[in-house]
Amino acid sequence: MRDMALDEDLLRRIKALGGGSYQDVAYLRDGTIIGIGDLMFTRAIYIDLDLNGWGKRFCFEDKDRAVDEYAKLQSGDDEPTGWIARRGR
């Protein structure tokens, strides 16, 4: 059984490390941590976040599309569609 207080603390710490760039940080059902936030010209979905950064980042010109794709994620293996740039593994 997971300790929800520790889980929420980890999410807060990751969000703080983003320096205000993460609008949301959350757990998926499989335990993967995801986030969404704005970059200079795009909105990004981050998958596999931890205290050292992110595993994958998908950038979107259409910010509303990014929000919709973020909401669809079910596991760390899911990949959003409609992105214009991808970084990471």
Model pLDDT, residue 1:
46
Q: What is the predicted pLDDT for the residue at 61?
A: 97
pTM of the model: 0.91
**Which phi and psi angles does 77 have, rounded to 5°?**
-85, -15
Please tell me the predicted confidence (pLDDT) of residue 5.
64
Pairing assessment for the beta strands 22-27 and 85-88 based on DSSP bridges: unpaired
Q: Are 60 and 47 in contact (CB under 8 A)?
A: no
pLDDT of residue 40: 92
Successive 10-residue mean pLDDT values, the chain, 89 residues: 71 92 95 96 97 96 98 97 94
**Cα distance between residue 32 and residue 74, in whole Å:** 9
Scanning 1-89, the segments in alpha helix (DSSP H) are: 4-17, 63-72
